[in-house]
Amino acid sequence: MLRHLPNAITLARIGACLPLVWLIVSGREQAALWLAVFAGLSDVLDGFLARTLGWQSRLGGLLDPIADKFFMVCAFVALAWIGALPWWLIVIVMLRDAVIVTGAFAYNHYVEPVPAEPSIPGKTCTMAQVLLVLAVLAQLAALPVPQQAITALIAVVAALAITSGAHYVWVWSRRARSVWRNRSAS
């Protein structure tokens, strides 16, 4: 039964998304910051449990990035809604995610099952997004976060979203061509 604990933690993170949005749009920035910190720590915990205790599963491999994306999208949209983040950034981040998800579905349908393996640029992009959300929430909660740091993080997130999205397209396109070539040769 404990083997399913990482998935339960991941589901709790998904369940925290709507309360996060509510806290942000209702001006409860300090509580939103604590909930975002909880979500980040829960992500670390479920990954640690899954890897160190061998409690990894295909479901967990799929749920974890979905939980991360859903949490980030909810946080980004809520922060843009209150004017704390620019809408153009949300469009870039969501387009990147749409390209990746569409590509994964296409690869899974036309080529072979998609292994859940995030790339280093993808992980870096996610980390930058997390740092940006935490920095903006901290600033909104009246913690001393300089606006220059947030502006720099916005630029970094935009650049990483574009480059990591392009990286995913390049890598998975090459993999698909390789699989198709091997099938044709057989």
CA 133/CA 72 separation, integer angstroms: 8
Given this model, what pLDDT does residue 111 score?
A: 87
How is 92-144 classified by DSSP, letter by letter?
A: HHHHHHHHHHHHHHHHHHHT-PPP----HHHHHHHHHHHHHHHHHHHHHTT--
141 lies in which domain range? Answer: 2-185
* 122/131 Cα distance (integer angstroms): 14
pLDDT of residue 136: 98
pLDDT (0 to 100) of residue 46: 86
What pTM does this model have? Answer: 0.88
Q: What is the DSSP letter of 4?
A: G
Q: Domains in the chain: how many in total?
A: 1
CATH code of the domain in which 6 resides: 1.20.120.1760
- pLDDT means per 10 residues in the chain (186 residues)? 84 94 97 94 87 81 84 96 98 94 87 79 92 97 95 98 94 87 81
Instruction: Give me the pLDDT at residue 116, please.
Output: 65
